[in-house]
């Protein structure tokens, strides 16, 4: 729970009173590998902060699974459109390992934002960070071919690589598992 606050405070300085107030709104939960933090079709009611474990955000198109992003220790995230507009999510979030995470609900965040200007700033920073990450992702998909995307992922996510399947990695990279296997073989 403290880690959530430390992380928020790092995004933008929080006042002591905001920290005290925030602490009362946090809930820590545990979920087993394979279970859902959010089912697609449901509205995302929370900001999620992963204390320990690993999760992926993904969606289906005709049973095929496409991965938007992996989240691990100290990642603070949500499903932006569902959370921001409190509408059903087209994306699901599932635990890839047994996972401990801390949540802050939409309603509580609204309350905190009304009470503390710094919390509104915090939320803006969080959204800007998410947007920046997605911009980077789009950039990579435009400028890199599959082999380059794989190479970049390996360099930037050395640790994560040990924890995800190559099937999931292929899905994230936007290629088939067969193609990823060939890319790995040919160098």
Partner DNA sequence: GTGATTTTTTAACTTATGTAAAAAGATAAG
Partner DNA sequence: CTTATCTTTTTACATAAGTTAAAAAATCAC
Q: Does 120 participate in binding DNA (rule CB under 7 A)?
A: no
Tokens 């449901």 sit on residue: 42
- Nearest distance from C-beta of residue 98 to its own copies, angstroms: 27
Q: How many residues does the chain have?
A: 187
State the binding string over 81-120 for its own copies (x if CB under 8 A, else -): x--xx----x----------------------xx--x--x
**Nearest distance from residue 146's CB to its own copies, in Å?**
12
- Which residue in 29, 45, 181, 187 binds DNA (CB under 7 A)? 181
Which DSSP letter does residue 90 get?
A: S
112 neighbors 25 (Cβ within 8 angstroms)? yes
* Alpha carbon 169 to its chain's center: 15
Residue 4 or 122: the one with the smaller Cβ distance to its own copies is: 122
80 binds, among DNA, its own copies, none (CB under 5 to 8 A by kind): its own copies
**DSSP H stretches of helix in 24-165:** 80-85, 106-115, 117-143, 146-156, 158-161
CB 8 within 8 A of CB 22: yes
Interacting stretch for DNA, rule CB under 7 A, among 17-25, 101-109, 123-131, 160-168?
160-168
138's contact among DNA, its own copies, none, with CB below 5 to 8 A by partner kind, is its own copies
Identify whether the C-beta of residue 98 lies closer than 8 Å to the C-beta of residue 32.
yes
């Amino acid at each position: 729970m403290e880690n959530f606050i430390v992380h928020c405070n790092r995004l933008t300085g929080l006042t002591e009173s905001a920290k005290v107030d925030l602490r009362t709104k946090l809930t820590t939960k545990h979920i087993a590998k394979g279970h859902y933090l959010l089912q697609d079709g449901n509205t995302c009611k929370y900001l999620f902060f992963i204390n320990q474990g690993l999760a992926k955000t993904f969606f289906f198109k005709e049973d095929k699974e496409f991965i938007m992003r992996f989240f691990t220790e100290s990642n603070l995230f949500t499903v932006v459109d569902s959370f921001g507009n409190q509408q059903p999510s087209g994306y699901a979030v599932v635990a890839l390992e047994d996972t401990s995470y801390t949540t802050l609900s939409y309603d509580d965040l609204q309350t905190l934002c009304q009470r503390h200007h710094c919390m509104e700033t915090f939320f803006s920073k969080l959204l800007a960070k998410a947007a920046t990450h997605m911009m980077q992702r789009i950039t990579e998909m435009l400028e890199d071919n599959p082999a380059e995307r794989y190479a970049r992922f390996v360099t930037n996510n050395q640790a994560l690589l040990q924890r995800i399947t190559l099937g999931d990695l292929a899905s994230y990279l936007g290629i088939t598992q067969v193609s990823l296997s060939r890319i790995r073989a040919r160098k």
